[in-house]
Amino acid sequence: MGIELDGCCELCSDGVESRDHLFNDCIFVVGLWSKILQTCRIPYRVLCWDDTLVWAASNLKGKSLLVCILKLAWTSLLCFVWEERNLSHFRGCFRAIDEVFEVIKRTVSVKLHDCSVNKADRVNSQLCLDWNIG
Ligand SMILES: [Zn+2]
């Protein structure tokens, strides 16, 4: 298609673009994921891609509000990181981590707008405030 790729990460220019780098190790993704976890009041830990998948498989079970938010936020992160990479590569557009985080936050908020939440629960109540749900 005439597209030249030099293999360098479009988001940080400091790594070879691979699945592991683009969706897990890149400083841009680390910044986004840290903000998501921070907003869920979960400490960030450095994990390789395979360990992230193990973490997700064991922690993203059930239907609690926290799990719903984390599932939506993580899948949104993967989607928007790919979009961001393509915007950067094909259009030369760059957004800051905070801007993409706000898009993820808005996506989670819209998706969970009509879900029924027990707001008498202190954790749920705080999550609703932090993620603008309801
Ligand atoms: Zn990168």
Question: What is the DSSP code string of 25-57?
Answer: ISHHHHHHHHHHHHHTT-------HHHHHHHHH
**Distance of CA 41 from the midpoint of ligand 1 (Å):** 25
Mean pLDDT of all residues in 37-61: 94
The radius of gyration computed from the CA coordinates of the chain, to the nearest angstrom, equals 16
Average pLDDT over residues 66-81: 97
pLDDT at 4 over 70: no
Higher pLDDT, 110 or 114: 110
Question: pLDDT tens for residues 18-27?
Answer: 999 999 999 9
> 82 CA to middle of ligand 1, Å?
12
pLDDT of residue 116: 86
Distance 8 CA to ligand 1 centre (A): 8
Query: Can you give the pLDDT at residue 3?
Result: 65
Residue the block writes with tokens 């609703």: 128
Q: Please tell me the distance between residue 56's alpha carbon and the centre of ligand 1 in angstroms.
A: 22
Query: Model pTM?
Result: 0.90
Distance 14 CA to ligand 1 centre (A): 6
What does pLDDT average to over the chain?
A: 93
Task: Judge whether residue 115 has pLDDT over 90.
Answer: no
Residues near ligand 1 ion, CB 5 Å cutoff = 9, 11-12, 15, 26
pLDDT reading at 100 higher than 70 = yes
